[in-house]
Amino acid sequence: MPTYYFDIRDGVPVRDKSGLELVSDGAAIVHSKSLAGRMREERPKGHPALQIVVIDESGREVHREPIYPSPA
């Protein structure tokens, strides 16, 4: 299974050094949405640009998940 990394960024990245083995890009995206939801629960307010960036083991960016999405 490929390894995915979940970096946290708001201009300066905080690198995920351990990663997580998941079956697909889709599973990694679902995981990033779950992480963002947990972060919102723990800290309801935060920097509006804060996001989780999913990187695959080859270094390719798979997805960006905003932690504090703009109201629709």
**pLDDT at res. 13:** 79
Average pLDDT of the segment spanning 1-22: 92
Q: Which residue ranges make up each domain of the chain?
A: 3-66
**Residues 36, 11: Cα–Cα separation, whole Å:** 17
**pLDDT at res. 72:** 59
H/E stretch holding 34: helix 25-42
As a whole number, the mean pLDDT across the chain is 92
What does the block give as tokens for 41? 């629960």
Q: Are 27 and 71 in contact (CB under 8 A)?
A: no
pTM of the model: 0.89
Nearest to 3 by CA among 14, 39, 17, 15: 17
Average pLDDT of the segment spanning 7-27: 92
The widest CA-to-CA distance across the chain, in whole angstroms, is 36
pLDDT tens-digit series, residues 22-55: 999 999 999 999 999 999 999 888 888 899 999 9
